[in-house]
Amino acid sequence: MLKAFKYRIAPTPDQAELLNKHCGAVRFVYNLALETKTFAYSTKQVNVSRMELSAQLTDLKKECEWLKEVNSQSLQSALLNLDIAYSNFFKGTADFPTFKKKNRKQSFQCPQNVVVDFTKGTIDLPKFKEPIKAVFHRTFTGSVRTVTISRTPTGKYFASVLVDTAAVIPTKAPVERSTSVGVDLGIKTFAVLSDGTEYANPKHLNQSIDRLKVLQRRASKKKKGSNNRKKANRKVAVLHEKIANQRKDFLHKASDAITKRYDTVVLEDLAVANMVKNPGRSGVPGEPHKLARSISDAGWGMFRQFVEYKSEWRGKNVLTIGRFEPSSKLHNTCGYINKDLLSSDREWICPNCNELVSRDLNASINILNFGLLKHSGRQSSGEPVESPTLVGTLKQEKLKRASAPAYRPDL
């Protein structure tokens, strides 16, 4: 089993300078290779492979002598990452690769010759004369595969160690309704489980948005390229980092609690990227407007990633249902579909059985039902989950007749 362990490292000024050189060199090679591949294909319809680019590194080092100061395998890893980015684009799982920027998060990889010493509290990297001090808040057992060194916009350095723990992945638990849970993700309430448990949305960005606006306004008024502007931008980055850490902490705790408690978790396959691009319809009663910031702040995609890999570690199951399933509009008890339900309606009374329906709880139960149906080989397609009854069918027919237009023979 592969696991990643992330540690904070404390390099000396000389070590920090060499780390920055590694980040700059890797960024330079990545951007140059991306430009080469794009230009070759756009002008000559030729695909430059990773092996061809790797063979050209020797000539590039003759032109750029400073590339010899960094680990050669880190440069090779940059070409590998670019090749993976291209593959993900053609598979349809990611956008086209973009150029790396200097003011964003920087990183480089060391695939070999890395020594992690818990006794001395250091990490020894190639090209470094002395090991780098690290804060080991936890230890691991296993062989080190790769180490990724990263530098945040706030100037902090971290080492992410990918370890082969040699542990066997547990066998998946059987899918049973008694040990399964449906999860409905939202904005007003972050998550509502089918057992009635609710996780309130902390809205970390919204809590700090006023302070963030002030810092961004101050930074925009500073002269470009000045030290004061750099200091102001760093304060903005510090606040952004704090918000991101708060969000990750909340999502880790929520996903950890759910995957420990249940053997099967059912989620909606939400297209978060498309939802963020859609600002909402203004002028329509009950329809939200400009929810992109709130959706991004909730972190639904990150939550799903956490649930998936933690379930894999623990031998649990993760099921997904289609994003177009009527999870909110379908009453889970009688099967009535409320086609007039608005996003602002948190509760509604079912015309079929006169029961007060909680939108989020009802959706989570439907998500569970749809997921179990799909796993059993049946598709829901919006039909009632439970078997229809005579009384329910009679009430449905009466509702259809009452809503049908009156017959006019003169038409």
pLDDT in tens, 2-22: 999 999 999 999 999 999 999
> Angle 9-12-18 (CA atoms, 0-180°, nearest 5)?
90
d(CA 314, CA 241): 30
Q: What pLDDT, on a 0 to 100 scale, did the predictor assign at position 336?
A: 83
Domain shared by 117 and 144, yes or no: yes
Per-residue pLDDT, averaged over 72-97, amounts to 92
Catalytic site residues?
184, 268, 360
pLDDT tens digits, one per residue of 28-41: 999 999 999 999 98
What is the 8-class DSSP label of residue 262?
-
Domain shared by 77 and 207, yes or no: no
Nearest CA among 310, 348, 334 for reference residue 396: 334
Domain shared by 211 and 143, yes or no: no
Tokens at 129, concatenated = 């004369």
Domain shared by 160 and 184, yes or no: no
Residue 56, Cβ density class (10 Å: 0-12 exposed, 13-18 middle, ≥19 buried) = middle
Last residue of a domain, one of 164, 194, 226: 164
- Name the residue with higher pLDDT: 326 or 149: 149
Per-residue pLDDT, averaged over 262-289, amounts to 70
In this structure, is residue 122 part of a structural domain?
yes
Tokens at 271, concatenated = 């297209």
User: Is 387 a residue whose pLDDT tops 50?
Assistant: no
Domain shared by 285 and 315, yes or no: yes
Domain residues for the domain of 133 are 2-164
Q: What pLDDT, on a 0 to 100 scale, did the predictor assign at position 384?
A: 45
d(CA 3, CA 160): 10
In this structure, is residue 170 part of a structural domain?
no
d(CA 174, CA 376): 12
User: What torsion do the CA atoms of 276, 281, 285, 290 make, to the nearest 10 degrees?
Assistant: 40
What is the 8-class DSSP label of residue 330?
B
In this structure, is residue 409 part of a structural domain?
no
In this structure, is residue 298 part of a structural domain?
yes
Domain shared by 159 and 219, yes or no: no
In this structure, is residue 49 part of a structural domain?
yes
Last residue of a domain, one of 137, 164, 191: 164
Q: How many domains does the structure of the chain reveal?
A: 2
pLDDT confidence band for 285 (50 / 70 / 90):
very low
Domain shared by 154 and 295, yes or no: no
Domain shared by 134 and 47, yes or no: yes
In this structure, is residue 402 part of a structural domain?
no
Domain shared by 181 and 157, yes or no: no
Last residue of a domain, one of 142, 164, 186: 164
Domain shared by 303 and 347, yes or no: yes
Domain shared by 18 and 130, yes or no: yes
Tokens at 48, concatenated = 């430059």
Domain shared by 107 and 216, yes or no: no
Nearest CA among 303, 296, 304 for reference residue 203: 296
Q: What pLDDT, on a 0 to 100 scale, did the predictor assign at position 364?
A: 92
d(CA 291, CA 279): 6
- Candidate ranges 88-97, 226-235, 264-273; pick with highest mean pLDDT: 226-235
Percent of the chain's residues with pLDDT above 70: 89
In this structure, is residue 343 part of a structural domain?
yes
